[in-house]
């Protein structure tokens, strides 16, 4: 089932979706960036639950409750290992793993941050192209997801993801 794709600028903990995705390390400790914002807004319980599900192989994902946040779940995508570095392959795998969890749990709307572009140091433009292409490619498998949102905190991320989404229209 085709779903809509959107790009929004703002705080992922305030986006209007059923679930949000955390760009995580494979042991799921939540430091700064998106993970820190999610833990700060949702509470320590999110990190504790996530860490109890790790470690996993980088590229995999798990889900937890959302603590004090209004979401049905937080999906934790292990986009990097303990070296805090990522790659095209890991971004692609973590995106698919996150969509698989959303699909399995009948989530209709999910918001993604830009994977690996903070601590991971991955280039924003490459990340946007990989994630947009991967999310579009997943549509044929989707039965439940109706809306995917890329939520970017800053103007650069918003512009780069907006450009990638416009350039990749089929």
Residues 61, 94: Cα–Cα separation, whole Å = 6
Boundaries of every domain in the chain: 4-167
At residue 170, does pLDDT exceed 80? no
**Confidence bin at 32 (pLDDT 50/70/90):** confident
What share of the chain in percent tops pLDDT 70? Answer: 98
Strand order in the sheet with 4-9: 4-9, 147-152, 109-112, 19-25, 73-80, 61-64
Question: Over the stretch 86-114, which tens digit does the pLDDT of each residue have?
Answer: 999 999 999 999 999 999 999 999 999 99
At residue 49, does pLDDT exceed 80? yes
Q: Which CATH number fits domain 4-167: 3.40.220.10, 3.40.50.1100, 3.40.1350.10, 3.40.50.1360?
A: 3.40.220.10
């Amino acid at each position: 089932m085709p779903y809509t794709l959107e790009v929004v600028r703002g705080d992922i903990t305030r986006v209007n979706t059923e679930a949000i995705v955390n760009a995580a390390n494979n042991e799921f400790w939540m430091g700064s960036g998106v993970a820190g914002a999610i833990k700060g807004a949702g509470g320590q319980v999110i990190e504790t639950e996530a860490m109890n599900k790790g470690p996993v192989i980088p590229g995999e994902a798990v889900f937890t409750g959302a603590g004090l946040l209004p979401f049905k779940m937080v999906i934790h995508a292990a986009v990097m290992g303990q070296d805090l570095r990522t790659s095209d392959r890991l971004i692609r795998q973590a995106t698919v793993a996150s969509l698989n969890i959303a699909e399995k749990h009948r989530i209709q709307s999910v918001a993604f941050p830009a994977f690996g572009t903070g601590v991971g140091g991955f280039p924003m433009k490459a990340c946007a192209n990989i994630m947009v292409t991967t999310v579009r490619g997943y549509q044929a498998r989707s039965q439940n997801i109706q809306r995917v949102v890329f939520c970017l905190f800053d103007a650069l991320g918003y512009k780069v993801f907006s450009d990638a989404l416009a350039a990749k229209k089929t």
